[in-house]
Structure 1
Amino acid sequence: MDAVAIVEALAEPAGRADPYPLYARARQLGPVARVWPDVVLVSGYDEVNRVLRDPAFGVVDGDVRPGAAEPASVRVLGSSVLRTNPPRHAAMRAPIASVFTPRRVRELEPAITATVDLLLDEIAAEFARDGWTDFMDRFAFRLPVNVICALLGVPEQDRYRFRGLVGELTALLEFMPGDLTAADLAAAELEDYFRRLAAERRNRPGADLVTALVGLTGTEPGLDEGELLGNLVLLLVAGFETTTNLLGNGLALLFRHPHVAAALRAGALPVADFVEEVLRFDAPVQMTSRLARSAGLSVGGFELPRGGEALLLIAAANRDPARHPDPDRFDPWRAEIAPLTFGAGPHYCLGAMLARREAALAFDRLLRRFPGLAPAPGREAVRNSRLLLRGYTDLPVRC
């Protein structure tokens, strides 16, 4: 297959269901391959890492790729750090980053642990009543959404409404997303929700991130109203979507590798190493892209025009044998595990440390609480239909 055929196959349902053979074929073409005159496909670890860290490459924004009137979903996320380039990006990112420091994550651990235990109590009751439960709905979604909503200051009664809305909005981020009608409606509803919550915090400030960001609105170099709402929506989306998929992908891998689960229960394998190998082996974020912000840039010897695009196959890079020997083997005992799943450089995921810690605490307590946890017989695990955000919609389990 040439690069064009690989890209086209990744857009098809079969390619999204199991993209890893296509990633292997991409690497066979070399770490970088030309797709079209203004697009290259990047699958090598070093090459993906370099582009992510190079400030000469940027994300899609109005400065790099100007266009006509934007759909609501594009406008909302386009006002956030996700789609903002320097110099504005650093000023916008700084106040948000202050919430996700190592010290703050450590301070959150008791609350995360309490939430994990509460959810495990609820799962135990469902096992006793029904004999099974859906891990994705009852745990993998609920844990991170509670954590990020507590940080934001979202009232508890509002939190579980977000899964469907975020699922619809993140279709925008997918490879060749298609119709954005549902994404636009979701963006408008989420934007309206945070507009009302921000107004409440202006009148009644709290010890939460919404209050902190509201305090920066209208200041210099603070946030304007659109940036405030865009970043609040992004924080909600990023705060649970990736972690939800990390938890589901990790549990599915434990079912396929019971010796790993046994080692975790026995304390013979650090849970943090297991989490890193899940991030490498079945990345919840599979790809991203960067645009050349000026003429004369090249990737792996392939020149791009200004505005030309580098499609970065993060999941393929994670399985580059030059970086991770025997890459198609799930092995949390590897000497070094260095996934690019959370990115690198200026747009490195703000919540990466929090996501890793949530997953580590969750798997440790889940496996100890339910040593007999297994797939529910007669019920099928269902993958989502996404490529970029890879995970499960349903993962039935029993104890």
Structure 2
Amino acid sequence: MTISDVTLDPYDYDFHEDPYPYYQRLRDEAPLYHNAGLGFWALSRHADVHKGFRNSTTLSNKFGVSLDPASRGPHASRTMSFLAMDDPDHLRLRTLVSKGFTPRRIRELEPRVTEIAVEHLDSMLEIARDTGSVDYVDEFAGKLPMDVISELMGVPKADRTQVRAWADAVMHREDGVTDVPDSAIEASLNLIVYYQEMVGQRRKQATDDLTTALLEAEIDGDRLTDDEIIGFMFLMVIAGNETTTKLLANAAFWGHRNPDQLGPVYDDLERIPLWVEETLRFDTSSQILARTVVGELELYDTVIPDGDVLLLLPGSAHRDERVFDNPDDFVIGREIGSKLLSFGSGAHFCLGAHLARMEARVALAELFKRIRGYEVDEANAVRVHSSNVRGFAHLPMSVKVR
């Protein structure tokens, strides 16, 4: 059920600028889309994406969840941990990791997240005062999530700038690059070596951090191997850092674009979680996730063969008028609930969802305690170019300090 003049190219810069008109056409004209050139199928309607996330038998994660050829394959779990596994391996590793990565640990981290946010905000607002403008991503949204992950893992403060630079390099793509560039592979290796040394140190001397908690996690004598711990740490850097940075910048951008919606938030910070949820729906960081068909799958009178790649498009699902009223309007406080697919659904539901929401809530609350308004310099905003995440590399703004 495909229509030849509807196109979806996750590497196209025009698509990165605004994917939503493309998604609209896919939902209406080709709800099961096939791109023979790039070798994938795609589902764009909310009901289909939701079902896809919950189908972990016919739709496999074991070759990874990215379309990029270098990230796909039987080795994917080395850097994507249990996100690139099926049960029973997935369940075993996720259950062990959950022993260390607990809701309580996240709750206890909140005062420290607030301190880190305040630290970065103080220097961001100082730059804004001195120069009249500041890059919100460079000075705040790009720093906070990686520092929080480093805090959680126990990366010393002195190393955090370097670790953040490596993490950024892992994700960066130049125009027209449809695979993982050498610079990203080098950055990945640097991170892995760094975390290997860190795990080695914790084996000799335990500390009160997630790295030690993962080393100590045990169920009936089963423990995580060093490689499994490093794989999970790498997943946190890629999935946890990148998507939360994008969430914070997307929230700022769409808040700026919708001042009528944002106005009440200044006077009632309790509305911040609603602002976060609507940002996750309206323009989610995580737009495209890949699965591999096992056996065969029949959808829309079409049989998708064994081994083919099927993309799930939560970015499109969230704009589906079959599920949301006026989905192209940014409405803080709309009813979303379980219809949100930013963190997936089913067996692979994002383990870090509560961490991402807490970080975003704390970051935006601390920002709004300090400012009374801001203007984004849209002409100089720069989008990230990635085949699966959406957000800003640079978001310059002027701010009115309270």
Same structural fold, with TM-score higher than 0.5 when normalized by the shorter chain? yes
Aligned counterpart, 1:31: 31
Aligned ranges 1:1-399 → 2 under 5 Å: 6-36=6-36, 39-61=40-62, 77-78=78-79, 80-170=81-171, 177-215=178-216, 221-267=222-268, 270-293=271-294, 295-337=295-337, 338-376=339-377, 380-399=380-399
Say whether the 8 Å CA contact 1:41–1:313 is kept in structure 2: yes
Shift of 1:55: 2.0
Shift of 1:137: 1.2
Shift of 1:171: 5.7
Shift of 1:355: 0.5
Say whether the 8 Å CA contact 1:263–1:269 is kept in structure 2: no
Shift of 1:390: 0.7
Q: Distance in 1 between matches of 2:392 and 2:277?
A: 19
Q: Which moved more, 1:339-348 or 1:115-124?
A: 115-124
Q: Which moved more, 1:361-370 or 1:271-280?
A: 361-370
- Residues 274-312 of structure 1 show CA distances to partners (whole Å, capped at 9, x for unaligned) of 11110111110101011222x243345432222222211
Give ranges in structure 2 of 5+ residues lacking alignment: none
Percent of aligned pairs sharing the same letter: 31
Q: Secondary structure at the match of 1:262?
A: helix
Cα gap change, 1:373 to 1:59, in 2 (>3 Å): same
Cα gap change, 1:179 to 1:353, in 2 (>3 Å): closer
Shift of 1:76: 6.5
Q: Which amino acid aligns with 2:321?
A: P
Q: Distance in 2 between matches of 1:303 and 1:394?
A: 42
Q: Distance in 1 between matches of 2:226 and 2:21?
A: 44
Q: Which amino acid aligns with 2:350?
A: C
Q: Which amino acid aligns with 2:213?
A: A
Cα gap change, 1:147 to 1:200, in 2 (>3 Å): same
- Residues 33-87 of structure 1 show CA distances to partners (whole Å, capped at 9, x for unaligned) of 34459843200111111111112134443699xxx99999955745611211111
Q: Which moved more, 1:127-136 or 1:80-89?
A: 127-136
Q: Which amino acid aligns with 1:199?
A: G
Shift of 1:5: 5.1
Q: Distance in 2 between matches of 1:268 and 1:243?
A: 20
Shift of 1:8: 4.8
Q: Which amino acid aligns with 2:85?
A: T
Say whether the 8 Å CA contact 1:39–1:304 is kept in structure 2: no
Cα gap change, 1:314 to 1:390, in 2 (>3 Å): same
Q: Which moved more, 1:383-392 or 1:122-131?
A: 122-131
Cα gap change, 1:298 to 1:162, in 2 (>3 Å): farther
Cα gap change, 1:36 to 1:221, in 2 (>3 Å): farther
Q: Secondary structure at the match of 1:328?
A: coil
Cα gap change, 1:242 to 1:62, in 2 (>3 Å): closer
Give ranges in structure 1 of 5+ residues lacking alignment: none
Q: Which amino acid aligns with 1:315?
A: G
Say whether the 8 Å CA contact 1:100–1:354 is kept in structure 2: no
Shift of 1:332: 1.6
Shift of 1:133: 1.6
Q: Secondary structure at the match of 1:397?
A: strand
- Residues 332-379 of structure 1 show CA distances to partners (whole Å, capped at 9, x for unaligned) of 2323353211111122111111111111122122123111322259x7
Q: Which moved more, 1:153-162 or 1:72-81?
A: 72-81
Q: Secondary structure at the match of 2:105?
A: helix
- Residues 71-123 of structure 1 show CA distances to partners (whole Å, capped at 9, x for unaligned) of 99955745611211111011111132234444333222222222222222222
Q: Secondary structure at the match of 2:380?
A: coil
Q: Secondary structure at the match of 2:223?
A: coil
Q: Distance in 2 between matches of 1:168 and 1:72?
A: 21
- Residues 123-181 of structure 1 show CA distances to partners (whole Å, capped at 9, x for unaligned) of 22222322222110111022111211111111111112233322332369x99832532
Say whether the 8 Å CA contact 2:64–2:291 is kept in structure 1: no
Q: Distance in 2 between matches of 1:26 and 1:179?
A: 27
Say whether the 8 Å CA contact 1:171–1:177 is kept in structure 2: no
Shift of 1:202: 0.9
Say whether the 8 Å CA contact 1:30–1:44 is kept in structure 2: no
Say whether the 8 Å CA contact 2:11–2:178 is kept in structure 1: no
Q: Distance in 2 between matches of 1:63 and 1:239?
A: 16
Q: Which moved more, 1:276-285 or 1:228-237?
A: 228-237
Q: Distance in 1 between matches of 2:12 and 2:5?
A: 11
Say whether the 8 Å CA contact 1:290–1:309 is kept in structure 2: yes
Q: Distance in 2 between matches of 1:88 and 1:147?
A: 28
**How many residue pairs align between the two structures?**
393
Q: Secondary structure at the match of 2:298?
A: strand
